[in-house]
Amino acid sequence: PAVSRGALWRLVAPVMLHANLTHLLFNVFFQLRMGFGMEKQFGREKMMMLYFACGLFGNLISVSLDPFKLAVGASTAGFGLIGVWLAEILLSWEVLGPARERTIIWIVFMLISVTTMSSMTPNMDLYGHLGGALGGFLLSIVISDMREEDRPPWYSQARAAAAVGLAACLAGGLGKVLLFSPRDPLPDCPLL
């Protein structure tokens, strides 16, 4: 509800907060595993922009679908890195060649691992995780800069569709949060 009253900083703050030491360590391990390679590939500035944009996007989707959910952690940004990774695989599928089978096995392993760890957490923010992954997927397609010879034939259409999808999700999420979300913490409480 505070976000609907203008506290937009609450869309970024959860990326830097964690519920406990286990939560912090798991997110650090996960993001070091995913993030180092991506930082080498994209560079520090682009990686920081992707990371925080995914966190913001995931938290926006979360608060727009469940405004009373209390959520902390960098998982929205971490799942955004998975979305970036999946978009990269989609765009370079033809280039992967014989590595496709290994890539599919790795994707299945990551999905099982992340789902298992997420389901063991009682207050896991499913909307935030999925929103971060969606944001990372769409944003990375929009800002991708593949070499001309490696681009699939549908590359420009995918970038245009991702831009429209990203804009629609951002506009819809912000519109829902700022215009139609509850503004009071306990909307049906007669005492408050």
Query: Could you list the active site residues?
Result: 75, 129
CB 61 within 8 A of CB 131: yes
First-last CA distance in the chain: 15
Count CB neighbours of 139 within 10 A. 22
CA distance 141 to 89: 11
Using CB atoms within 10 Å of the CB of residue 168, give its burial: 0 to 12 exposed, 13 to 18 middle, 19+ buried. exposed
Q: In sequence order, what DSSP letters do the residues of 150-169 get, joined into one string?
A: G--TTHHHHHHHHHHHHHHH
